[in-house]
Structure 1
Amino acid sequence: MMKVKIGLQPIVSRINLPTVLKTAILPGDSMERLFIATQLGEIFYIGNGDLRTFLDIRARVIKLGGSGGYDERGLLGLAFHPGFYYNGLFYLHYSAAGTQGPGALPGGFTPDPCNPETLNLRWTNRETQYDHIDTVEEWILPSNGQPRIRRTLLHLRRPFSNHNGVNSLNFSPETGKLVLTTGDGGSGYDPFNLSQDDMEIAGKIIEIDVAKNTFINNPPAVTRFHELPLPAQETLTVMAKGVRNIPGISFQRYNNQYIKFVGNVGQELVESIFSFVHYKPIPVTQLVQASNRNSRMNHEGLINLGWRGWEGDFPTMILNGCSANPALDKKDIAFFNEAVKTSVRRLPPLTSYLHKDQRPDKFGGTALTGVQAYMGNGIPALTGSVVFTDLAQKKESQRQNRGVLAYTRVRTDGKPNDYRVIETDDHYGSQSAYYVSLGSNLNQTRLYLGVHGSMKVTDFNQGAVFELVGHQDRGPMY
């Protein structure tokens, strides 16, 4: 793959943490606008050279930053209906205010391969032992009016504060359905193995048929599919399982098909990007019926990313540091039996990058934060590739934290591929720059990068958004 160097063209600065970057054409408008959703609950758009407020739901979003300022809750998903220009419909996923609970476990979790009790934990007392409730809602922008909520699609009770997904709502151009990408519920190592349990909503990629108008008043907060009312079950299909945490899904048109790209955030070793074309989603009603009959489902065609038995292409490890000699760090397979069980069922990654990598043309990653296909011609070397972002690369020689961009491609023979780092301008001097989100316009010819100056959501007005451009291009910041 070619060496690529790009410019970062400033679009907007001094905003809060930009979690979702999308474009849409407002009803009655003639121009595709960039929309920016922040983790705190603001949604802005660029209009006629200035930043305008589209919607502010900060009062609806859970209070963030309780434990040291770092938080993975908040406004996590924004998607515009394919017919938004005509019907004004859009969708939100956020952690709801007033739903804070004590959490599902009293402390942290580390599995012990020699202690079966740690490998077979169960999430009990779910109505009282949980961290918060996420909601997925349908909103409408009426003509000559302000946006308002139209209906609630899901209330999801989450066991821990982390692994809720980001850029978690996207419409499939293939099926026309709303795709919800979330995480395994949080903590670490998926304590309750929710991601591989067919009945658990956590750790899945779910399609929602929003054309079916269920209009269930105040749907219950649930954790398992069978707890949903039947009309809600009938709107859902499961696209994938084995998810740890995921920064959205991207669709790339290839001939008459779509390549789907998703990334799985790693635990100890590696971050992974997956690609697939064919899949066979399973209706939730069939999963529930099979569970009620205590019968085994046919999972042929269902995508399995392998977690928690696998972290990318590696059996999930526990790392025990040897402080005197790091080269002797002990590595134990955390869930040996699960790794064996899912070894032939899981989807191998398209590409992966390690948390520790000393090779000069690679980088040590922290957490995958965005995966987007690019079909534009403005950066010819990237045309037809998939671009991804990491929160902050690990470099001992680097005094400040910097995010990193990289890219890879789908091989014609279907085999895994390598990746290459994208060189970028440095706009930050001595300031840290965490790469927190990646977005595109409707036809994937432009890419947008969300950056924040801190790991804390309570550090306000440190966010910025850039467009990825050819190295020679520049432009104003609003």
Structure 2
Amino acid sequence: MVKVKVRLQPIVSHINLPTVLKTTILPGDSFERLFIATQVGEIFYVGNGMIKTFLDIRSRIIKLGTSEPGVSRGGYDERGLIGLAFHPQFYYNGLFYLHYSVAGTQGPGALTERFTPNPCDPKTLNLRWINRETQYDHIDTVEEWILQSNGQPQKRRTLLNLRRPFFNHNGVNSLNFSPETGKMVLTTGDGGSGYDPFNLSQDDMEIAGKIIEIDVDKMPYIQNPPVVTRFEELPVPIQETLTVIAKGVRNITGISFQRFQNGYIKYVGNVGQDLVESIFSFASYKPIPVTHLVQASLTNSVPDQNGFINLGWRGWEGAFPTSIIRGCSEDSTMDEKTIAYYNETLVTSIQRIPPLISYFHKDPRPDKFEGISLTGVQVYMGNSISTLSGSVVFTDFVRSQKTQTPARGVLAYTRIRTDCKLNDFHVIETDYNYGTQSAYYVSLGTNQNQTRLFLGVHGSRNVTDFNKGTVFEIIP
């Protein structure tokens, strides 16, 4: 793989943390505009050198930067406005969709103590999420909105209300429409904490830890859908519009589609635990209707999962068995890595698909980097950066700060392999000078035909540090 160097051209500065970057054509327009959603609940669009507010739902967003009442995390948060998608016929019907954490729904969380699995203590390996109506962190909602003829957006209906056990792992860039099926794809994340305490990602009935297709054109109008955590809790008419593409998800940074012959290759980035960040790819798959999953649960049978995608979590972290890392008392420069869920690792070893690439939190190789958290994955099909054409570009939140201060995110790329083996990756060099400011890479976006790339950067780890966001275009 060849070295690539790009420039970062600022488009918008001094905004809040940008979570979603994508383009669409407004009704009556003749060109694509870049839309920027911020975690605190604003949506802007850029065109003709101007930035305008499209929608402001800050009053609808949960108070960010807090967990349990009265407890602060210093402003770091994974809730807020985390999904924006435009209907494939948006130009004609004005429909778009939001996924966000709802104001006033803060709960105490599903566990009172920090969770770490202990292979010597079976109780920690078989926890159950109980008292779900009171022991949860917050409620996420998926809504349908319409851009009215007067140019004002208005909410039309709520599609789903999801109760979440913890503040983190709610999905990133969580709503996208599939060009293959025309359906909306929702990525949910495993519910958070760490190590998936309740193994929600592998439980077929749990909504958490899945990639779900929603047929929004057939979804019934139900006033105030119930707040749920499991598929069987949904009204049957809603169940009938949902299919599950994949399970074994920890936290996904959206889904990207690459046209290939008569179909599409799908790419998803799965955020890691302690060892590794991973990007998975698949072309063919066989989604399972939620009604089939519910029926199998009721009859205590196993649904046909031939062709169903399983990313392997929580037994597998990318290409590795999920491990607990402890320092070695004999040598402080070394770490002990113990398999956390040995039995689950065995069970899912054949069911799971291997990742396209993995990159590591610790990596001594001089041409690599030590990452922290995958934050974006996009296909690039343009020609202006010729060496990247046909590549999969990805971002990491920040390089390990043992080697670099102030903080800097990472831009990198890989390519698909036809032999299905793990591929290599390469860092993309950038020439932008941030000076003494931190630069966390929080989002990656593209335009409709994937010929342009946009990078969202924030000057702080904390969503409560306002107006520190910048959106760049990645150019030759």
| TM-score for the superposition, normalised by structure 2 | 0.98
Match of 2:351 in 1: 345
Instruction: Answer yes or no: is 1:177 the counterpart of 2:177.
Output: no
Match of 1:92 in 2: 98
Match of 2:307 in 1: 301
The answer to whether the 8 Å contact 1:131/1:158 transfers is: yes
Match of 2:397 in 1: 391
Instruction: Answer yes or no: is 1:69 the counterpart of 2:75.
Output: yes
Instruction: Answer yes or no: is 1:430 the counterpart of 2:397.
Output: no
**Alpha-carbon shift at residue 328 of structure 1 (Å):** 3.4
CA separation in 2, counterparts of 1:427 and 1:391? 17
Match of 1:30 in 2: 30
Match of 1:281 in 2: 287
Number of corresponding residues: 470
The answer to whether the 8 Å contact 1:94/1:136 transfers is: yes
CA separation in 1, counterparts of 2:38 and 2:330? 43
CA separation in 1, counterparts of 2:464 and 2:7? 29
Tell me which amino acid in the other structure corresponds to 2:12: V
CA separation in 2, counterparts of 1:285 and 1:72? 30
Q: Name which of structure 1's ranges 325-334 and 101-110 shifts more when overlaid on structure 2.
A: 325-334
**Alpha-carbon shift at residue 341 of structure 1 (Å):** 0.3
Instruction: Answer yes or no: is 1:8 the counterpart of 2:8.
Output: yes
CA separation in 2, counterparts of 1:326 and 1:260? 42
**Alpha-carbon shift at residue 412 of structure 1 (Å):** 2.3
CA separation in 2, counterparts of 1:257 and 1:30? 28
Match of 2:448 in 1: 442
Q: Name which of structure 1's ranges 70-79 and 296-305 shifts more when overlaid on structure 2.
A: 296-305
The answer to whether the 8 Å contact 1:364/1:395 transfers is: no
The answer to whether the 8 Å contact 2:201/2:209 transfers is: yes
Instruction: Answer yes or no: is 1:458 the counterpart of 2:464.
Output: yes
The alignment partner of 2:351 has SS state of coil
The alignment partner of 1:337 has SS state of helix
Work out the percentage of aligned pairs sharing the same amino acid: 75
Change (3 A) 1:387 1:211: same
CA separation in 1, counterparts of 2:272 and 2:403? 24
**Alpha-carbon shift at residue 81 of structure 1 (Å):** 0.4
Instruction: Answer yes or no: is 1:199 the counterpart of 2:221.
Output: no
Equivalences for residues 307-456 of structure 1 within 5 A: 307-322=313-328, 325-456=331-462
**Alpha-carbon shift at residue 39 of structure 1 (Å):** 0.1
**Alpha-carbon shift at residue 395 of structure 1 (Å):** 4.8
Match of 2:19 in 1: 19
Q: Note the alpha carbon deviations across 1:393-426, whole angstroms, 9 max, x for none.
A: 1153422110001100011223221101100113
CA separation in 2, counterparts of 1:118 and 1:412? 40
CA separation in 1, counterparts of 2:58 and 2:75? 17
CA separation in 2, counterparts of 1:370 and 1:397? 22
Instruction: Answer yes or no: is 1:82 the counterpart of 2:78.
Output: no
CA separation in 2, counterparts of 1:461 and 1:323? 44
Instruction: Answer yes or no: is 1:223 the counterpart of 2:226.
Output: no
Tell me which amino acid in the other structure corresponds to 2:4: V
CA separation in 2, counterparts of 1:422 and 1:257? 28
Tell me which amino acid in the other structure corresponds to 2:33: R
CA separation in 2, counterparts of 1:309 and 1:162? 19
Q: Note the alpha carbon deviations across 1:98-139, whole angstroms, 9 max, x for none.
A: 111100000110000011000000000000000000000010
**Alpha-carbon shift at residue 340 of structure 1 (Å):** 0.3
| TM-score for the superposition, normalised by structure 1 | 0.97
Q: Note the alpha carbon deviations across 1:345-399, whole angstroms, 9 max, x for none.
A: 1010000100011111000000000000000001000000100000001153422
Q: What is the root-mean-square deviation in Å for CA atoms of aligned residues?
A: 0.9
Instruction: Answer yes or no: is 1:44 the counterpart of 2:39.
Output: no
CA separation in 1, counterparts of 2:161 and 2:94? 23
Could you tell me which of 253, 264, 273 is aligned with 2:270?
264
**Alpha-carbon shift at residue 241 of structure 1 (Å):** 0.2
**Alpha-carbon shift at residue 68 of structure 1 (Å):** 1.3
Q: Note the alpha carbon deviations across 1:252-286, whole angstroms, 9 max, x for none.
A: 00111100000110001000000000000000000
CA separation in 1, counterparts of 2:246 and 2:404? 38
CA separation in 2, counterparts of 1:438 and 1:380? 19
Instruction: Answer yes or no: is 1:162 the counterpart of 2:168.
Output: yes
**Alpha-carbon shift at residue 247 of structure 1 (Å):** 0.6
Could you tell me which of 193, 200, 212 is aligned with 1:187?
193
**Alpha-carbon shift at residue 49 of structure 1 (Å):** 1.2
**Alpha-carbon shift at residue 213 of structure 1 (Å):** 3.7
CA separation in 2, counterparts of 1:156 and 1:291? 20
Runs of 5+ consecutive residues of structure 1 not aligned to the other structure: 471-478
Tell me which amino acid in the other structure corresponds to 2:170: N
Q: Note the alpha carbon deviations across 1:308-330, whole angstroms, 9 max, x for none.
A: 00000100000111366234321
Match of 1:54 in 2: 54
The alignment partner of 2:123 has SS state of helix
The alignment partner of 1:111 has SS state of coil
The answer to whether the 8 Å contact 1:72/1:164 transfers is: yes
Match of 1:127 in 2: 133
CA separation in 2, counterparts of 1:59 and 1:283? 35
CA separation in 2, counterparts of 1:305 and 1:213? 27
Match of 2:247 in 1: 241
Q: Name which of structure 1's ranges 142-151 and 216-225 shifts more when overlaid on structure 2.
A: 142-151
Match of 1:475 in 2: none
The answer to whether the 8 Å contact 2:219/2:238 transfers is: no
**Alpha-carbon shift at residue 430 of structure 1 (Å):** 1.1
CA separation in 1, counterparts of 2:287 and 2:209? 15
Q: Name which of structure 1's ranges 393-402 and 169-178 shifts more when overlaid on structure 2.
A: 393-402
CA separation in 2, counterparts of 1:16 and 1:151? 27
Tell me which amino acid in the other structure corresponds to 2:47: G
Runs of 5+ consecutive residues of structure 2 not aligned to the other structure: 67-72
The alignment partner of 1:455 has SS state of coil
CA separation in 2, counterparts of 1:213 and 1:320? 48
Change (3 A) 1:397 1:226: closer
CA separation in 2, counterparts of 1:407 and 1:328? 30
